[in-house]
Structures are given as structure tokens and as C-alpha cells.
Structure 1
Amino acid sequence: MTRTAVVICPGRGTYNKPELGYLHRHHADRMDLFRSFDAIRSERGQDAITALDAADRYSVGTYSRGDVASPLIYAASLGDAQALAEDIEVVAVTGNSMGWYIALAAAGALTAENGFRVVNTMGTLMQEHLIGGQLVYPFMGEGWNSDPKRKAEVQDEVARINALKDHVLALSIDLGGMLVLAGNEAGLKAFEASQPRVQDRFPLRLANHAAFHTALQASVAAEGRARLGADLFGQPACPMIDGRGKIWWPGATDTEALRDYTLGHQVTETYDFTRAIQTAAREFAPDLFIVTGPGATLGGAVAQSLILAQWRGMVDKASFHSLQQADPFLIAMGRDDQRALATG
């Protein structure tokens, strides 16, 4: 029996020490594809992703860089999207932040090689410019109960700080029960000083992350548009859900508008991952939500987004776990105990 699925591609911060060797462990049969990515990197004098993945040691200083992390995550995620079991019908594809670029390739709007060109170009530009930074702060408690009042309080504080002289702070990603904030150093420090420390680690700065999805990235977006032509983009083979919750349909996609969004709004405006997941649930009602690797941290944000929509009656972490244990519907391919549920 066919299982329908929405495929969800992760963004930055998902290729960490445990993921070193992911391409070789899970996709030895796709090395020809990965070597084609290496050739693209070689043209720019950059290290091969196959060599980076095969390294003996992982260092945050190297592997958190945009020009290293982005292409590795792309290769791992696209490989996973191509490795799904034959009984799985992909009804839509979406992603978080950089995962939008991967979603374009997974859905066929970009070829595998052109998707890599987009990811490698944008990841390199982000690293070269490294404008501003990001931090993560939760508004949900550890029980994953909806708390719109607390979310509004945090957003009001972001607006207050952003209005201060020489301070820039904005919502970068609406990420389930988390808010990813981005801005300049003054803005980030002001927020860190104003908020209580929660769950022993938040607010949490993200290493080597720029102020993604804010106006601070306007120059990066412009340079990306100058380097990445409209001819790279085509019609998707399956629906894609972007960071506004908009659906791009096969056969009805304006490819110029798709490029404009991908290298414009998507770079400089808030990415609403929560809305993307809720749109996926409401419009496609899939049997499965499959989060491709590397890593598995995005699964929590998917679950929280569904809780916020009260999908299938879920209202908190306990009700999510009850449904998940009875019949797993959220599969993280980066988890060894769940991977086989998606690959067969």
C-alpha cells in the first residue's frame, strides 16, 4: 500500500560531529553524484565534499562555515530524498531556511547539479560577508504547550530593541516552538541581556551564522542574483511549500517568480517554517512527515508546528508522543532507529 509523505529538508546547523562520514555511510552508491559536486567546488578552488565528509576529525571552526556546512548538508539531504522506499509517494516538499534550496532540487525545480551551484554559491557568499549573527530562543516550555502570550512578549522585545539607535534585531525564522532571531552584535547582545536563561542553554548563539532572513542580507541576495541566472530554474515535478506557506504547483509555476523569491524575499525576510509545515498538513494531509538528514534536530520543530495547529488533536509533547508511538508519522532519516521506516 502506498504511503504519502511530505519531505522536509533541513537547514544550517545539522551537519555536526556525529554526522561526519554521513555521505559514505548512507550513500556509497551515490558517489558519482557527489563527485560531480566536487567538480563544481574544484572550479572555485574549494575542498571536495567527499574529502570533507571522509575526514578523520571534525572541528566546529571548519564545519560550521557556510561554504563547508551548506554543500555537505545539501548532498546528505538530497541523497536521503532520493533514497526513499518505493511505496512512498512524495506529495509535497518543503524545507527550513537553507533547506528551501534543497527542496527545489528534491522537487525537480533545480537539477541536482544546479541545486548544488545555488547552495554552494549562497553558502560561500554568506561566509564571505558574514553580516550579523543569529541566536535561538524558545517561547514554548519543555512540555511543548502553546504559549502565544509568551511568543508575543518576545516579539515585542525584539521590536523594542530594533528601535534603539545602532541596534538591529528581527525575527529570522519562526521555527515551531522556537524563535530564531538575527541582527547585528548590539541587537543580539541587548536581547541576551534582557531575557532569562531557560532550559540551561537559551538564548543560544549559532556559530558562523549570519543574520539570515533579514534586510542585512540585501547585498548577499543581490550578489546571488548576479551569479545565478534564471535558466537554472524549471518547473517542479511535485508541489513545493516555501517559507511563507505558499505552494508552488507543477506545471503552474512562474519560474522567474520562483527565482525572484528564492534569491530575494527568501534571503531578506522572515522564514516562516511553522506556516510551511502547517500548510503541508492541512493541504496535503500526508501519512508521513519525513525529515531528511543530516541530523535530526528539525524533527522537534516539525512536531511543535503540528501541535500549534492542533493537528490530529495534538496539544503538547505528551499527546505528540502518544500518537507517534502508536503509529509513527514523523520520521527523521538522520536517526538510526527511524531511518529504515523511510528507506524500507
Structure 2
Amino acid sequence: MKQTAVVICPGRGSYNSQELGYLARHHADQQALLAPIDAYRQQQGQAAVTELDRLPRYAPDRHAAGENASALIYACALADFAAIDRERYEIVAVTGNSMGWYLAMAAAGALEARAAITLVNTMGSMMQDGLIGGQLVYPVVDEQWRADPARQALLDEQLERVNQRPDCQAYLSIQLGGLRVIGANAPALAALMASLPPSGERYPLQLARHAAFHTPLLTPVSRRARSQLPASLFKRPGLPLIDGRGHIWQPLATDLKALWDYTLGKQVVEPFNFSAAIEVAIKEFAPDRLILLGPGSNLGAPIGQELIRQRWLGMSDKTDFKQRQADDPFLLAMGLDEQRQQVVPG
């Protein structure tokens, strides 16, 4: 009997040095899927994703640049989606984080192949002449991934203080499980990095080569995207889609103008609530598994943190989550070889 699964698509920052060669390792046989992506990129005067993936060394200035990173992640994720064993899993819904929303639409059939790479590549290339602002990450959970109201209050207080300065603009960008991603202009980022107390060894963490996605600072990008990407690119999905508000776009009830408007409007300039998307995924679809597409697996912790917040399957802290993942993983990350083997045909 098939198991049900909700598929989760990764966002920016998921193709790093350890992912170099991901397409070559896992998808050398998927040229029918990859060749059109490469052809489109070459028409735009950009490097083919398979060429970037085959380079002998990971080069941040090249691989992590928006116009390349987006297409690389798209190619890896969509090839992973095609590789899922459909004899074993019935996919009941698709969602994603941030840029992963574009990938989720492609996986669910709301974008055909040409439309998908056009959208992904266009949005990824919007700021190749210069980023607008940046992002930092700060935790609002304790070491056991349990909600910590004091940390949330501290972050809220620092945001309020920084925004009182006339040169600063800082906004919630992404609710990412037990993490909060803040999008801000350069003065606000500097002020927050200086004022937020260290948490563990990593935070506050400023994300390299990330703009202030999902904030009003990207209003010019939203306007440009609307002018360049017509609603005709979109079609009704073949699978339910969960967006960055937790809203479900059903196959037979999707208004294409509304989908275009959300994708290039609110999704660009308002906070992306990945936590809500995971909550809706588990509560509305009650899947047997969550499948996280590669490359990478850095969404594993935020997903685990949201499962803990919901006390899903009795998990109440990080120890519970890790034990469940060791015994009978609810979350299967295709970027991890041992979990990948449970998703692809044997």
C-alpha cells in the first residue's frame, strides 16, 4: 500500500560546496529534464546548470550568485521530484520555502517546464546588478527547539529600537520554524548584528548574497516582475499547493490571475510564513511522510522545530525529533543519502 507524502521544495542557500556535483551524482540519466534548462540559460547568455555543477571547485561568487543559484537549485529539486518512487508514495500536496514556492508551483504543474525556468531565472536574476538590503537569522527557540518567549520578545524589542532610527528599515522576512529571518537595509542590518546578543556559536547570522526578500524593500522587484512575467505563464496545478501564508491552492479552484498576483505581489513584499505552510501540510493532509527535495537538507531543523511546536507524533523537543528520525523518519530529506534511499526506487 502506498504511503502519502507532502513534498517540500528548498529555497536559496541550499546548494553549497558539499552539493557541488549533485546533478552529476544523482541525475546523470535525466537529460530530458535538464537539457531544456541548459538551453534556456544559454539563450540568456548564462552558464548551463550542468556546466556549473561539473566545475572542479565550488566558487561562491559564481555558484551562489542569484542568477546561477536559483537555476541550480531548481534543476536539482525538480530532478529529485521526478525521481520519487511513485509506486511507494502518493504525493498529496506540495509546498516550499521562499524561492521554493516557485519550485513547488513547477512540481505541482502550475508552471510548465518553459514557464518554470523563465520565472525562476528571471526572479533569480533581478538583482544581479546589486542586492537590495540583506537578511539575518536569529533563533526564538531554546537548545531543545522549544519555543522561548523571552528570545522572541528580545528580537521584537531590538527590531522596534532599530526601526526608530531614521536611516533604518528592518522587517520580519520569513517565519522559519524556530528561526526568524529578518530582511533589512544595510544600516539596520549592521545595527541588529551589533545589538542582538550571541545565541550559540552561529547567531545572529547574516546570510551571504541574500537580499531583503519578502519585505517592502523589494517593491521595485515586484513591479519589474509584474511587467516582465505575464499571468499566461501560470496554469491550474495538478496537485494542491500550500503557499507562504498557509493558503491551499486546489487544482480545480485556482484563480490564475490571483495566483499570478500573489506570486509576484504579496509573496515578494510580505513575510513568508514557512511555519504555517508546514502546519497546514501536516494538519490538513496528515501525510505518512514529509519528503524534502534536495539539494542540501538545511530545512530539516526548521521543519523539525515546527513539528515540535505542533507536538506532532508526540514530539516535544529536539531529542524526540532526533530519536524519531533515527527509528522511523517522518521527514525524508533527499539531500541525505541514507534517507534518499527510502524515497527513490531501489
Tell me the TM-score normalised to structure 2 length. 0.97
Q: Distance in 1 between matches of 2:324 and 2:166?
A: 48
Q: What's the counterpart of residue 224 of structure 2?
A: 223
State the Cα distance separating 1:241 from its structure 2 match: 0.4
Q: Distance in 2 between matches of 1:94 and 1:230?
A: 20
Q: Using the TM superposition, name which of 97-106 and 80-89 deviates more.
A: 80-89
Q: Distance in 2 between matches of 1:167 and 1:313?
A: 42
Unaligned 5+ runs, structure 1: none
- Check whether the contact 1:129–1:220 (CA below 8 A) recurs between aligned residues: no
Q: Using the TM superposition, name which of 268-277 and 302-311 deviates more.
A: 302-311
Number of residue pairs aligned between Structure 1 and Structure 2: 344
What SS is found at the alignment partner of 2:297? coil
State the Cα distance separating 1:207 from its structure 2 match: 1.1
Note if 1:104 corresponds to 2:105. yes
Matches within 5 A, 1:324-335: 324-335=325-336
- Check whether the contact 1:159–1:170 (CA below 8 A) recurs between aligned residues: no
- Check whether the contact 1:146–1:316 (CA below 8 A) recurs between aligned residues: no
Q: Distance in 2 between matches of 1:21 and 1:308?
A: 35
What SS is found at the alignment partner of 1:126? coil
Q: Distance in 2 between matches of 1:47 and 1:324?
A: 38
Matches within 5 A, 1:55-204: 55-86=55-86, 87-204=88-205
State the Cα distance separating 1:2 from its structure 2 match: 0.5
State the Cα distance separating 1:129 from its structure 2 match: 4.0
Amino acid at match of 1:285: A
Unaligned 5+ runs, structure 2: none
Q: Distance in 2 between matches of 1:265 and 1:133?
A: 18
State the Cα distance separating 1:150 from its structure 2 match: 1.9
State the Cα distance separating 1:142 from its structure 2 match: 2.2
State the Cα distance separating 1:146 from its structure 2 match: 1.6
Q: Distance in 2 between matches of 1:2 and 1:42?
A: 40
Q: Distance in 1 between matches of 2:264 and 2:207?
A: 23
* Offset from partner CA, 1:236-288 (integer Å, 9 cap, x none): 01100000000000110001100110111001110000010011011001000
Note if 1:269 corresponds to 2:270. yes
What SS is found at the alignment partner of 2:301? helix
State the Cα distance separating 1:320 from its structure 2 match: 1.4
- Check whether the contact 2:158–2:196 (CA below 8 A) recurs between aligned residues: no
What SS is found at the alignment partner of 1:188? helix
Amino acid at match of 1:22: Y
Q: Distance in 1 between matches of 2:286 and 2:161?
A: 39
State the Cα distance separating 1:206 from its structure 2 match: 1.0
Q: What's the counterpart of residue 338 of structure 2?
A: 337
* Offset from partner CA, 1:8-47 (integer Å, 9 cap, x none): 0000001001111111111112123212111111222111
Note if 1:40 corresponds to 2:40. yes
- Check whether the contact 2:139–2:151 (CA below 8 A) recurs between aligned residues: no
Q: Using the TM superposition, name which of 4-13 and 159-168 deviates more.
A: 159-168
Matches within 5 A, 1:239-250: 239-250=240-251
Q: Using the TM superposition, name which of 29-38 and 259-268 deviates more.
A: 29-38
- Check whether the contact 2:134–2:183 (CA below 8 A) recurs between aligned residues: yes
Q: What's the counterpart of residue 293 of structure 1?
A: 294
Q: Distance in 2 between matches of 1:277 and 1:245?
A: 8
Tell me the TM-score normalised to structure 1 length. 0.97
Identity %: 52
State the Cα distance separating 1:325 from its structure 2 match: 2.7
State the Cα distance separating 1:50 from its structure 2 match: 1.1
Note if 1:251 corresponds to 2:256. no
Q: What's the counterpart of residue 322 of structure 1?
A: 323
Q: Distance in 1 between matches of 2:311 and 2:128?
A: 38
Amino acid at match of 1:10: P
State the Cα distance separating 1:149 from its structure 2 match: 3.4
C-alpha RMSD of matched pairs (Å): 1.1
